[in-house]
Structure 1
Amino acid sequence: MTSTARRRSVALALVAVLGTASTSACSMLDQPPTPDGAVQALADGLATADLTAVPLSGASPADATAFVQKVYKGMGKNRPGVTVTKVTQAEGAETATATLVTQWDVSKSPKDWRYQTNVPLTLVDGRWRVTWSPALVAPELKRDEVLSLVTKWPKRADIVAADGAPLMTEREVAVVGIDKTRVTGAAVKDSATKLAKVLGIDAGGYAGRVAAAGAQAFVPALTLRTTDPTLTKNTTAIDAIKGASRLPRMMVLGPSRTWAAPILGSVGEATAEQIQKSKGTLEAGDEVGQSGLELRYDEQLRGAPGLAIQALTKGADGSTTDKRELYAELSTDGTPLRLTLDQAAQTAAEKALAGQTKQPTALVAVRVSTGEVVAAAIGPAANGAPLALAGRKAPGSTFKLASSLALVRKGASADTKVPCTDTLTVNGRKFGNYSHYPKDKLGDITLATALAFSCNTAFISQYQKVSQQDLISAAHSLGIGESLDLPWTGFLGSVPDTKDVVEHAASFIGQGRVEASPLAMAVATASVMRGQTVRPRLIADEPRLPAPDVPLQPKEAEVLRTEMRAVVKEGSGRVLQQVGVEFAKTGTAEFGTDNPPKTHAWMVAGRGDLAIAAYNEIGPSGTTDAAPFIISFLKDYDAP
């Protein structure tokens, strides 16, 4: 073949090939597009609230995006997962239908809000377009509707007494304040000032808050129980003030403003910190525990919230004119918290301290047979501090119960003689007895007499026979000083592990760095009475606390009971005979830098199945400044 013929042959072959390729390309261009891309763009757009890339008919992508973003606003940060499950198109048809499944994970439950929507599509000018409708976003959604996720909390469970009677429960209150829609101009300040004076609050401060509030505001001044004398005695005066209002409301409250308040705690609107820590469980306006047991057992008491997703119809002014429920999850009720507190005992304890307005006071009563705390009260001057269960105060001579036990473990009995002198010097530190110690009880006296009349030097004289570790162990055996994991706010005392001789000597009489709460001393008294270590209980169903490494033995306790009987029969606790007390011990403990120093006053006592500890922040004698609380308590409380 010549070169010319060869070139002609290659050219014809190329023409043939190009002709075949051209025919294939025309075939591909003639094939219509599928609706799959448009459907997937819609699914992605609904999941992100951005439909700007979705080919639509009936609305612009920008308008559809604005609508979806408005609809989703009430769902917070929640966004759905949207999946294309099916696309149906008849052969050669210019319409199609797609099926989407939308799933919202709106709670911690395994359930989700899940629904299916049908999407109509039309082929327009060779391009598939989604026929826009609000119903593509949520079932039967209309143009004037938006979604709203509403949390539904169950009624908060009560904290109840030992007999099941409600302690912390919903009670009716009145929120008293100025409604600025009912008073205007110069009259606003006048009304606010008048109301503040009637309620006994700062008039200038309240008037300033009212003035700063908006014209449509209601400005609360005080929230009062409907039984509060401030309200009942001034209802007519309040109603006579222009713009003053009393709004009814239910609040979780205790039996009274002071009744076991540091223990029970309070309930109020969730703080910003609580909302943040809840990781989406709490929202602004939710009611949660703020202190005490209401805070510690908040999750148990409030239960688990349910929820509802609603389609809200909005009016021109943005107000809701109608709503319908699209999905709901039921709430789970909280579980009541049952305490060991006895209502009659607590009331009697509070009454015994009601007049103590000058210095902090406290009284705790423990059931000997069970360790149940039946009363734990504070006086008005304690200002709501958890002094009864968690106070940290030097117990003074009431700690001699532990010192006596340590001596018993070294072989002493109630009749063992110990030297009681006016003073005793240990390593340069001079110790003495209280100022009115009876002179006829000096000299070599029995251990029982030393406890009955509270001779400091008699106990301190044994500092070389009894080590600090012996004192610590004895205290633990009585329930004092161990670091136990209490399921409520409490303090069981502490005894320092010290090598300092002076501090060791001071520990014998409950001073130095020895600390205890009224609860701890009531527990120690209960342990002596029962003849074995008692553990306190405040929550009826709480786990039992472990026994100490060296439990109290019955024979040891019998010696201590003999000594405590002597306190009532002949010593500093004789004043308690009138209310049938069998066991007692007084105590004072120096504190502060005054000269002479001030003293805390203590008294512990036992009658029947009750062990009681009373405390007065300042007082020269447990007999005169703590025992009266116990007398009042036992006169009012008829223990079962």
Structure 2
Amino acid sequence: MRRARRTLAATVTLAVASMTLTGCFEESSPHDAVRDFLVGWQSEDYDLAAQRTDGDVAKVREALADAKVELDAASFRFKITSVSVTGDQSKAGFHAEVDLGENNPLWEYDGVLPLHLVDGSWKVRWSPSVLHPQLKEGQRFAVDTNPTPRQPVVDRAGDALQSNQVLYVAGVYPAKVGDQAEAAVAKLAEVTGYAQDRLLSRVRSSPPDKFVPLVTFGRSRYQSMQAKLGAIAGIETQPQEQPVNPDAPRQIVGTVSALTPETEQELGGPQKAGDSLGKSGLQQAYQDYLTGSTETRVITLDLKTGKEVANLKEWPGRQNVSVKTTIDRGIQAAAEQAVSETETSALVAVQRDTGEILAVSTKGDLHQERDALAGKFPAGTAFSIVAADALLKAGMSPKQRLACPQERTVGGAKFVHLGQSTGITTSASFQENFARGCVTALASLARRVNADDLTKSAKAFGVGQPWRLPLKSFSGALPALSSDAEKAKAIAGQNVEVSPLSMALVAAAVASGTWHAPVLVTEPKSPDPSAEATPAAQPAPVPVDPKVRSLLTTMMRAGAAGTPAQGGKGKVYGVTATAGDQQTWFVGWQGDVAIAVLAKSYNAGAVAGSFFAGLGSRP
């Protein structure tokens, strides 16, 4: 599709060029010959071009057609730069732009057309140097490419987050396949579905003694195609190791596949048929960095020996680089082990002082990117951490006595405490009800805080903030709080949506004293190689009021003490919360690692305890 668009663009340019070339000259002159030759070459009307030379028409026509094939060119464009006449001799200068296709830069060069009078008509004096000043008899063009292997996605220590996998590359050595190239490529196209003309152009434009990769297969597809490939004379298959088999967190790292005929046509980018293509996760988001761009050279070759004669132009290509993440392999292993004990759960761990994502793990039908980073789940009483910030700022004391009845109505909204009934009336404090996640007690506080203060606290803890990650993510959403009922629902987390990532950052804010936007990739700074080499704008860090933080820390210590979340070495801080539909949360931290766990039909605190125990045993 990309090549088709380029050809169309060239045709449009040709119409303009024709007018440019013809507009100034109305009588027979060298200009007519120059014009017709260049217009014929550009429009692939090789008979028109050849008839304006003094060479054999058939040979000139063949040379012009061969030049397009040898360069695998999408189009040629020309502009006359000068014409001079001395008696029966003339010389015309021209500027050429050759689109080499495959997203390569334009090859631009200046050429010269010598002309002389033959029987009263101006003719281009034919020789290979008409095509390019350095092309001589017995030589041809070729395009030499040198693709670099795919680079890995790595963890914070620089170790690859994927292992090598053997891919199988089918291709040819042009010198070996010789005149059978067209037949070999036709059969390869038939069994693989790739466009025959594109494969053949690649063969014909390549140096004869260099292996030309045409199609890449994964193990299973290669095994199914092996017999058919082996039956094609001239086609060779070479195994090639590439870092494409993802390690944990697999869905964050992402998968890679060979480019298919369909995706090659659809993308129209720098990839060629058979190249590796990121299909998901960071492999997809950073495809252009991981693959870079191919080093390309336009050269001339000796027709007899196939050896390189001259290097006409080269483009080094953009250097491909590894993508460095903030993932900690040891912490990721602890997360994987913790969720393995459940049927359905998600765990996100972040560095409390930076917001760097250390681990992402899911089990069951939950997806690491779609759910752990970007999921939209009811916050439940886990949101009481944020609500407590607003309540404490409003003068609420952690020692304030609150009743925790089984049911309560606030502003017309009914709340039901689904936890174990302990007969709590006025004997429990705000801190104790916070620790137990008593919905009815928390909802009763709606009149103790105004809507603006709740909204400000939510924003300060990152809820709804426009942060940016290279993968999909969700920072949370809080509705307009227009009534006591809406405020009560917010304090109880019933009208608030969050992701496990957003809640892990809430825990990190209390733990460190400052909310930070999340970070997953430290290098490169942007998934787009054309973007400026500066980090995308992120929300600024937001400090937590020191007095409030001190109170919240004590309350969250009470929320974790004596629960299954207490695991490993060191104190655990956090809350275990319910969010309906047999869904539970644990949001808290131990040491410098803050986490959020979302579990279905399982105690999220127990998952947290297993995780913290795993942290204590890691190297």
How would you bin the TM-score normalised by the shorter chain?
Answer: 0.7 to 0.9
Partner of 1:558: 550
Runs of at least 5 residues in structure 2 that lack an aligned partner in the other structure: 1-27, 171-189, 197-213, 526-534
TM-score, normalised by the number of residues in structure 2: 0.73
Letter in 1 for 2:326: T
Instruction: Supply the distance in 2 between the matched residues of 1:286 and 1:313 (Cα, whole angstroms).
Output: 30
Answer with 1 or 2: which has the greater Rg: 1
Q: Please tell me whether residue 365 in structure 1 is matched to residue 349 in structure 2.
A: yes
Q: 1:36 to 1:537 in 2, by over 3 A?
A: closer
Partner of 1:400: 384
Letter in 1 for 2:574: A
Partner of 1:472: 455
Partner of 1:443: 426
Instruction: Supply the distance in 1 between the matched residues of 2:421 and 2:144 (Cα, whole angstroms).
Output: 70
Partner of 2:331: 345
Letter in 1 for 2:586: M
Q: 1:632 to 1:173 in 2, by over 3 A?
A: farther
| Superposed CA offset, 1:157-190 (max 9, x none) | 443221222335x72325599xxxxxxxxxxxxx
Q: 1:406 to 1:88 in 2, by over 3 A?
A: same
Q: 1:442 to 1:274 in 2, by over 3 A?
A: farther
Instruction: Supply the distance in 1 between the matched residues of 2:269 and 2:56 (Cα, whole angstroms).
Output: 35
Q: Is the 8 A contact 1:301 1:335 kept in 2?
A: yes
Instruction: Supply the distance in 2 between the matched residues of 1:52 and 1:219 (Cα, whole angstroms).
Output: 36
Partner of 1:608: 591
| Superposed CA offset, 1:278-314 (max 9, x none) | 7765554454443323333334444344322355799
Q: Please tell me whether residue 114 in structure 1 is matched to residue 96 in structure 2.
A: no
> How much has 1:469 moved relative to structure 2?
3.1
Q: Is the 8 A contact 2:169 2:240 kept in 1?
A: no
> How much has 1:133 moved relative to structure 2?
3.8
Q: Please tell me whether residue 50 in structure 1 is matched to residue 45 in structure 2.
A: yes
Q: Is the 8 A contact 1:390 1:517 kept in 2?
A: yes
RMSD: 4.4
Q: Please tell me whether residue 528 in structure 1 is matched to residue 510 in structure 2.
A: yes
Q: Which of 544, 547, 553 is the aligned partner of 2:540? A: 547
Q: Which of 64, 72, 96 is the aligned partner of 1:68? A: 64
Instruction: Supply the distance in 2 between the matched residues of 1:65 and 1:221 (Cα, whole angstroms).
Output: 39
Q: Please tell me whether residue 78 in structure 1 is matched to residue 67 in structure 2.
A: no
Between 140-149 and 482-491, report the one with greater CA deviation.
140-149
> How much has 1:213 moved relative to structure 2?
7.0
Letter in 2 for 1:353: V
Q: Is the 8 A contact 1:40 1:84 kept in 2?
A: no
Q: Is the 8 A contact 2:246 2:255 kept in 1?
A: no
> How much has 1:519 moved relative to structure 2?
1.2
Letter in 2 for 1:347: A
Instruction: Supply the distance in 2 between the matched residues of 1:137 and 1:219 (Cα, whole angstroms).
Output: 32
Q: Please tell me whether residue 265 in structure 1 is matched to residue 258 in structure 2.
A: no
Q: Is the 8 A contact 1:422 1:442 kept in 2?
A: no
Partner of 1:458: 441
Instruction: Supply the distance in 2 between the matched residues of 1:379 and 1:172 (Cα, whole angstroms).
Output: 25
Q: 1:435 to 1:620 in 2, by over 3 A?
A: farther
2:596 counterpart SS class? strand
Q: Please tell me whether residue 103 in structure 1 is matched to residue 108 in structure 2.
A: no
Instruction: Supply the distance in 2 between the matched residues of 1:341 and 1:578 (Cα, whole angstroms).
Output: 21
2:446 counterpart SS class? coil
Instruction: Supply the distance in 2 between the matched residues of 1:140 and 1:636 (Cα, whole angstroms).
Output: 68
Mapping 1:306-385, distance limit 5 Å: 306-310=295-299, 326-356=312-342, 358-359=343-344, 361-383=345-367, 385=369
Q: Is the 8 A contact 2:256 2:278 kept in 1?
A: yes
Between 47-56 and 361-370, report the one with greater CA deviation.
47-56
Between 305-314 and 412-421, report the one with greater CA deviation.
305-314
Runs of at least 5 residues in structure 1 that lack an aligned partner in the other structure: 1-32, 178-210, 226-230, 591-597
Mapping 1:190-205, distance limit 5 Å: none
1:498 counterpart SS class? coil
1:414 counterpart SS class? coil
Q: Which of 238, 242, 246 is the aligned partner of 1:251? A: 242
1:378 counterpart SS class? strand
Instruction: Supply the distance in 1 between the matched residues of 2:295 and 2:410 (Cα, whole angstroms).
Output: 68
> How much has 1:450 moved relative to structure 2?
0.9
1:458 counterpart SS class? helix
Q: Which of 152, 157, 161 is the aligned partner of 2:155? A: 161
Instruction: Supply the distance in 1 between the matched residues of 2:593 and 2:220 (Cα, whole angstroms).
Output: 36
Q: 1:116 to 1:608 in 2, by over 3 A?
A: same
Q: Which of 576, 579, 582 is the aligned partner of 1:586? A: 576
Mapping 1:463-502, distance limit 5 Å: 463-499=446-482, 501-502=484-485
> How much has 1:366 moved relative to structure 2?
1.4
Instruction: Supply the distance in 1 between the matched residues of 2:217 and 2:245 (Cα, whole angstroms).
Output: 21
Instruction: Supply the distance in 1 between the matched residues of 2:278 and 2:548 (Cα, whole angstroms).
Output: 44
> How much has 1:497 moved relative to structure 2?
1.5
How many equivalent pairs are there? 534
> How much has 1:381 moved relative to structure 2?
3.4
Q: 1:471 to 1:569 in 2, by over 3 A?
A: same
1:57 counterpart SS class? coil
Q: 1:220 to 1:64 in 2, by over 3 A?
A: closer
Q: 1:366 to 1:313 in 2, by over 3 A?
A: same
Instruction: Supply the distance in 1 between the matched residues of 2:472 and 2:129 (Cα, whole angstroms).
Output: 55
Partner of 2:519: 537
> How much has 1:556 moved relative to structure 2?
0.5
Identity of aligned residues (%): 27
Letter in 2 for 1:294: Q
Instruction: Supply the distance in 2 between the matched residues of 1:113 and 1:603 (Cα, whole angstroms).
Output: 62
Q: 1:503 to 1:312 in 2, by over 3 A?
A: farther
| Superposed CA offset, 1:372-419 (max 9, x none) | 211122225325553222221112221111121121011012212222
Q: 1:127 to 1:535 in 2, by over 3 A?
A: closer
Instruction: Supply the distance in 2 between the matched residues of 1:552 and 1:273 (Cα, whole angstroms).
Output: 52
Mapping 1:179-198, distance limit 5 Å: none
Instruction: Supply the distance in 1 between the matched residues of 2:154 and 2:362 (Cα, whole angstroms).
Output: 20
Instruction: Supply the distance in 1 between the matched residues of 2:121 and 2:237 (Cα, whole angstroms).
Output: 65
Q: Is the 8 A contact 1:49 1:69 kept in 2?
A: yes
Q: Which of 582, 600, 614 is the aligned partner of 1:599? A: 582
1:129 counterpart SS class? strand
Mapping 1:506-517, distance limit 5 Å: 506-511=489-494, 513-517=495-499
Q: Is the 8 A contact 1:46 1:137 kept in 2?
A: no
Q: Which of 275, 282, 287 is the aligned partner of 1:293? A: 282
> How much has 1:566 moved relative to structure 2?
1.1
TM-score, normalised by the number of residues in structure 1: 0.71
Letter in 2 for 1:409: K
2:73 counterpart SS class? coil
